[in-house]
Amino acid sequence: MSTSQSSPTSPVLIALAWLLVGVPLAYGLWQTLVRASALFTG
């Protein structure tokens, strides 16, 4: 059985999930920009 009301998700849990995804994504983007700039600056 499913109920129509679900418990609200904790804002801390949402922030933790965003950090878990955002930190590696930001690092990857930063590394891409650094290496791409090396191609253009010599």
Percent of the chain with pLDDT over 90: 71
pLDDT for 8 equals 83
3-state helix/strand/coil string of the chain: CCCCCCCCCCHHHHHHHHHHHHHHHHHHHHHHHHHHHHHHHC
pLDDT band for position 2 (cuts 50, 70, 90): low
Percent of the chain with pLDDT over 70: 88
First CA to last CA distance, the chain? 63
